Structure 1
Amino acid sequence: MGVKLPIADNPLCSKADLERAFRQLTKPLLPYYSAGGARLELPGSGAGQSPDISQMEGFSRIIWGLAPLAAGSGHVDEDLLQLVLRGITNGTNPGHKEYWGIPADYDQRLVEMASLGLALAIAPHRMWEPLSAEAKQHFYDWLNQINSLKVHDCNWLFFHVLVNVGFYKLGLPYAKEQLEANLDRLEQFYLEDGWYEDGTNGHSDYYVPLAFHYCGLIYAALMKEEDPKRSARFEERAALFAGQFANWFTEDGRAVPYGRSLTYRFAQGAVWGAYAFAGVQPFELGVIKGLYMRHLRWWLRQPIFSPDGLLTVGYRYPNLIMAENYNAPGSVYWAFKAFLPLALPDDHPFWLAEELPLPELTDVSVQHAPHVVICRDNNRDHVAAFNAGHRSTNDHTHSSAKYEKFVYSASFGFSVPRAEWGLSQGAYDSMLALSEGDNLYRVRRNNEATNLDGDVLTSIWKPWRDVTVTTHLIAGLPWHVRIHRIETARALDAAEGGFALPLDASLSVSETTGSVCGLTGFGGSGITSLIGYERAEWISVQANTNLMHERTAIPTLQTKLQPGLHLLIIAVYGEPGAQEPVNPDGWRQRVQVYLEGNRVRAVSPLGKEIIVAV
């Protein structure tokens, strides 16, 4: 497990505090720079890219914070700055042994060029002008390779944009036509309400704020005079997005863990700093500052560090099980995107504003573009995203767990499989898992159809060609209801989990034939069968499967299904901070369920009606 370091005592209330946080996070990195300064040789596990590319990645990701700091004040660690300038000089020099090499199409190094483009655009006096004429030419030539190479047709297009904006700002030759083409292509990923999809049929996750809006706001700030129409469009969409995205955050600064690349941690909230950088105010400036600062404070008090102060791969604690194939030890420093406001002068209104609480938010926020309904329990500071699911999928690690669970909670987190055998290894919280009796389970991965109607989410999915599941979620906190209509041509074992409850010595469990509930010092979690399940069990799942908590157990219902038509209806409870044993019938206060002959009728808290024929 990671340890808390002195940075946890940084109050993070002012620009000076943020500058100090950057120094506190970068000081432990200094011994790990290579002799020539061009690589960050961090210890730890490997990644899909080669070690030399991973080390270049680590080098470049520090610049997401260093460039704004160099742009906004004189309070730069000169040792770090000189080390980075030496690294740029050597890394871009074809004759040096630490040369970063010649990238190929779709190369990870193309991603890492973006921070260098940002440095050229906003901090040329500290990160370009001090270089020799020869070093400048090498630097330009190496970055300019991106203009003859292909990038993935998704948020990667913005990396090309940032490099060429950097060239433009320095008066260097740049790929104007390709820049325009990429900006036009990014336009085609726009959906509605400020949301983009990450490529054609891609997901709408944290890459929308940390890539699309973050880079779009930087472009708008830097190119407003040259490209006023597009800049205004980026600003308008970002402002629209903020009204939905604020719902993803709790009052204390946590965000809902959902999707891939969660090891970038406080990059989740980097877009709030980008609003300040670009001068875009979807809310009062104090509200934006509060969202930004509380998020950083929450993260920097979590055990996410190694003993010597390095950020680790993981989410709320070091955890390689949840990582993507592309997560190298230095990848995590994309979190430094959150330091963009350091580019603002000391007397900027953002730094002078008083932090304000969250804007007024509704208990239920229906967000059609990302296919989610966000529910909020202000009494417990609990936020959860109920998920209708997606029509497409991808091959990233744990894609089903990261995109297709029924609900994602900012307090309970979510779990990924440790291995493929059984319920303990699979850790199927907030999922319906189906098996052919061989203890190997299938879950929802993509959907034939999805729909949102108020607080009711519907999806149709096929774990096998001859098995069709229609799922209705009635969203709500602390209770929600799930209804599954299963038409199967094969015999199946069914298991369905509630919220994963973190374990401690105070755990108390109550079980009946149709329900199981648990209570610890953290809170309560439970699950009740209304129709269809035969037994309830408290499953202690394998360690380190949950992103938020190292040791958890999942209340789980199980039954056997013969070929034919089946109906499974359950009520699920999750309440952080609960101190009293769970009433397994508490769901009745929120949802009405009626069995009427051969059909079931359910009415949601918002009055939406579901009728399912059996």
Structure 2
Amino acid sequence: MRSLREFDDLRLSPHTGWTRQHWAALADHLLLSARPHASPSHARITFPGPPGGYGTDVDGLEGFARTFLAAGFRVAGEGGRDPLGLMDWYARGLAAGTDPRSPERWVRLDEHGQAKVEAASIALVLHLTRPWLWDRLPPLVQEQVVDYLTPAIGSDYPPINWVWFQIVVEQFLASVGGPYARGDIERGLALTDGFARQDGWYADGAERAYDHYAGWALQFYPLLWAEMAAGDPAADSRLPGYRDRLERYLHDAVHLVGADGSPLVQGRSLIYRFAAATPFWVGARAGAGSPGLLRRAASGIARHFVDRGAPDEDGILTLGWHGAWPAMAQSYSGPGSPYWAAKGLYGLSLPAEHPVWTAVEEPLPVERDDFHLLARAPGWLVSGTRADGIVRVVNHGTDHSRPGSHLTDSPLYARLGYSTATSPLLAGPHAADPFDQSVAVLDEDGRPSHRTGFETLLLDRLPSGTLAGASRWQAHWVASGAGGPDHGYGRSGAVRLGPWIDLVSAVRGAWEVRLIRLSPGSAPEGPDGAAPLDAGRLRVGGWPLPSATATVAATVAATYSTAVACSRVVAGAGFDRSGTTPVADGSPLAPWTLVPWCATGGPARTGTWYTASVHLGGQAPAEPPAVSWDGPALARVTWPDGTLDTLAVPAAPGEPG
């Protein structure tokens, strides 16, 4: 696409230069670039690439429904002005896709579950563009659309964000005089109420599932539904609560965007890219949050991807992060799936005179100052440093599972750290066997243990502002097969148990201090009669640094984008081995990833505290934190800035607290 820099306005947008004109040009480019891949009647848009895991019928429906989002937002925000003829173009697709006799007909909701997802996008655009599309459709096509959506009634939806798809579809049906079940909507709303957690956050279901779905789905649909159902006492009574949760969530969300616009590289479905901007536009539409800050966050995210090759030179959003990197996709992903990024264009549904477009951009938290944020719901210790613009998360609360489970660690959820400058290793052997951002016991064959199912012990802010967190888990090894769908989270299998691991983290600036203790475990024999593992080598993995080469410098420095970053693990008490391992094509950020680590040379001792300091920053640190002990239960950490913190460590399992 032509450079968007020509539209820059540094007076209105001093941080990104982006205005509504940039967003409109991006949307138009995506929409026009999609047209060559459409079927004759426009009902299916099948982008280049191998068929997705659900087949070409679903691929074509995804391509239509997800680009339809961008078209709908574009026309709604223009009050119906439509120079590209978007509504007429998509109206043809609606007519053919919902016609059961058409060779281009869509797979129905009662034929494939993925159609339930896409139906919600179709319904919400028909709501937003009602005067310019729905009201102008011939009665026969309106009847076909209603018939296509009707199987949502009484259907089973997974008890996660999918429940909102049923609510939105049935609310639209109700609004056009179609059939619907009030009980479905009421039951769905009650279920989604149960997703609410502390500080405005939502979990994606009953598990500790915290990721970008918290914003681009679970904050998005409640406000949209309340708008669709405006005037209904049930909707009007819920709206203030939805808005209050959103506003509190946005306080945390703006802290999770790096100065370069990168969202946190964590959680599944990352191929949706700038869909991560969605909650900021939801906030603007709902009047929650500061317009200038919300646009700064959203525009920073979109510019981050546009400046780095998404969309590609053909105007296509490929399976990947910046450029194409198919290993990033889950098994449900097809060539049309990345176009859920269109949700990030939701701001275009707001007219040019809306305050979110007219307010001067405000700096992100990481651009104002260093910060330390405790995000209690996901169990994250969040630190941002102004000098390098990096936001880091140390994770003591998220694994897309429940306490006590023994699944494999998903690199997208169960790693100890995520950031806006690094990606977990998502391909190769270290994706299945934790290495980067891990604390693991190695078995006789050198395989690392997993931590999914851990218990959160502590989330706190110390008087100095330093963040502290702790978790405990029983080391386990899982013999999981490669079969079955990959939805981005851990897998089950035959389990072998090992010792208990206690981990205490103290986070200040670019540093995390890790205090680690092993305690004896008790367990039956594992798979094939394997005895429980009482002890093994202990290994700590650090931040996975993107690198153009496999060259390892003493400080493990590498060039990432336009900034120089440094990743380092400093071995403390108990560790006598350390190094840095280069990994080829393990993440979407660079050809190589450099992972620093430290380890014990032999089996780790139980009942002993081991220490390591883990660093990720824009430059090599002058000195690491220093750790000393005041008796067996109090650790003292002296930070490079001179701050002294005292940490009370947890009692071992079975010992009095």
TM-score by length of 2: 0.83
What secondary structure is seen at the aligned counterpart in 1 of 2:339? helix
2:275 is aligned with 1:267: yes
* Shift in Å, 1:276: 1.9
2:488 is aligned with 1:482: no
Equivalent-residue separation in structure 2 for 1:598 and 1:450 (angstroms): 18
What secondary structure is seen at the aligned counterpart in 2 of 1:124? coil
2:589 is aligned with 1:548: yes
From 435, 441, 448, the equivalent of 2:442 is: 435
Equivalence map 1:177-326=2 (5 Å): 177-226=183-232, 227-278=235-286, 280-283=287-290, 285-326=291-332
* Shift in Å, 1:162: 1.6
* Shift in Å, 1:210: 0.7
From the superposition, tell whether residues 47 and 496 of structure 1 become closer, same or farther in structure 2 (CA, over 3 Å). farther
What secondary structure is seen at the aligned counterpart in 2 of 1:336? helix
Equivalence map 1:402-417=2 (5 Å): 402-417=412-427
Q: Is the 8 A contact 2:57 2:107 kept in 1?
A: no
From the superposition, tell whether residues 144 and 551 of structure 1 become closer, same or farther in structure 2 (CA, over 3 Å). same
1:165-215 deviation line (CA, Å, top 9, x unaligned)? 323333444332321221122111111210111111241221111111111
2:648 is aligned with 1:610: yes
From the superposition, tell whether residues 124 and 255 of structure 1 become closer, same or farther in structure 2 (CA, over 3 Å). same
* Shift in Å, 1:273: 1.0
Q: Is the 8 A contact 1:120 1:170 kept in 2?
A: no
Q: Is the 8 A contact 1:432 1:497 kept in 2?
A: yes
* Shift in Å, 1:79: 5.1
Q: Is the 8 A contact 1:477 1:573 kept in 2?
A: no
2:45 match? 40
From the superposition, tell whether residues 304 and 550 of structure 1 become closer, same or farther in structure 2 (CA, over 3 Å). farther
1:40-83 deviation line (CA, Å, top 9, x unaligned)? 11122443322211221121111221112122224535454433
Percent identity between the two aligned chains: 24
Equivalent-residue separation in structure 2 for 1:436 and 1:352 (angstroms): 59
* Shift in Å, 1:13: 3.0
1:498 match? 542
Q: Is the 8 A contact 1:420 1:441 kept in 2?
A: no
Aligned-partner residue type, residue 290 of structure 1: R
What secondary structure is seen at the aligned counterpart in 1 of 2:198? coil
Equivalent-residue separation in structure 1 for 2:226 and 2:144 (angstroms): 28
* Shift in Å, 1:352: 2.0
From 134, 137, 142, the equivalent of 1:136 is: 142
2:173 match? 167
2:565 is aligned with 1:523: yes
1:442-473 deviation line (CA, Å, top 9, x unaligned)? 33223144431221111111222232111111
1:460 match? 472
2:94 is aligned with 1:52: no
1:419 match? 429
Equivalent-residue separation in structure 2 for 1:364 and 1:52 (angstroms): 47
Aligned-partner residue type, residue 408 of structure 1: Y
What secondary structure is seen at the aligned counterpart in 1 of 2:328? coil
Q: Is the 8 A contact 2:31 2:71 kept in 1?
A: no
From the superposition, tell whether residues 415 and 476 of structure 1 become closer, same or farther in structure 2 (CA, over 3 Å). farther
What secondary structure is seen at the aligned counterpart in 2 of 1:551? strand
From 11, 18, 21, the equivalent of 1:13 is: 18
**Number of aligned residues:** 591
* Shift in Å, 1:130: 2.9
1:594 match? 628
2:378 is aligned with 1:370: yes
Q: Is the 8 A contact 1:507 1:518 kept in 2?
A: no
Equivalent-residue separation in structure 2 for 1:479 and 1:19 (angstroms): 40
From 448, 453, 456, the equivalent of 1:446 is: 453
What secondary structure is seen at the aligned counterpart in 2 of 1:135? helix
* Shift in Å, 1:260: 1.2
From the superposition, tell whether residues 235 and 255 of structure 1 become closer, same or farther in structure 2 (CA, over 3 Å). same
1:535 match? 577
2:96 match? 90
From the superposition, tell whether residues 132 and 210 of structure 1 become closer, same or farther in structure 2 (CA, over 3 Å). same
Aligned-partner residue type, residue 501 of structure 2: V
* Shift in Å, 1:314: 1.5
What secondary structure is seen at the aligned counterpart in 2 of 1:190? coil
2:528 match? none
* Shift in Å, 1:136: 0.9
From the superposition, tell whether residues 518 and 19 of structure 1 become closer, same or farther in structure 2 (CA, over 3 Å). closer
Gaps of 5+ in 2: 9-16, 462-466, 477-496, 521-532, 653-657
Aligned-partner residue type, residue 282 of structure 1: G
From the superposition, tell whether residues 48 and 561 of structure 1 become closer, same or farther in structure 2 (CA, over 3 Å). farther
Q: Is the 8 A contact 1:270 1:338 kept in 2?
A: yes
What secondary structure is seen at the aligned counterpart in 2 of 1:502? strand
Q: Is the 8 A contact 1:387 1:406 kept in 2?
A: yes
What secondary structure is seen at the aligned counterpart in 2 of 1:486? strand
Gaps of 5+ in 1: 511-515
From 74, 87, 101, the equivalent of 1:69 is: 74
2:505 is aligned with 1:473: yes
Q: Is the 8 A contact 1:220 1:230 kept in 2?
A: yes
Equivalent-residue separation in structure 2 for 1:241 and 1:563 (angstroms): 41
Equivalent-residue separation in structure 2 for 1:204 and 1:582 (angstroms): 31
Moved more, 245-254 or 332-341: 245-254
Aligned-partner residue type, residue 142 of structure 2: K
Equivalent-residue separation in structure 1 for 2:359 and 2:455 (angstroms): 48
From the superposition, tell whether residues 470 and 417 of structure 1 become closer, same or farther in structure 2 (CA, over 3 Å). farther
1:352 match? 358
Equivalent-residue separation in structure 2 for 1:391 and 1:540 (angstroms): 26
What secondary structure is seen at the aligned counterpart in 1 of 2:509? coil
1:562-586 deviation line (CA, Å, top 9, x unaligned)? 375153311112112x2xx544xx2
1:513 match? none
From the superposition, tell whether residues 574 and 361 of structure 1 become closer, same or farther in structure 2 (CA, over 3 Å). closer
Equivalent-residue separation in structure 2 for 1:458 and 1:87 (angstroms): 53
Aligned-partner residue type, residue 481 of structure 1: V
* Shift in Å, 1:608: 4.6
* Shift in Å, 1:402: 1.0
* Shift in Å, 1:332: 0.6
CA RMSD of aligned residues (A): 2.8
From the superposition, tell whether residues 163 and 252 of structure 1 become closer, same or farther in structure 2 (CA, over 3 Å). same
Equivalent-residue separation in structure 2 for 1:109 and 1:518 (angstroms): 46
2:117 is aligned with 1:111: yes
Aligned-partner residue type, residue 98 of structure 2: T
Equivalent-residue separation in structure 2 for 1:265 and 1:45 (angstroms): 20
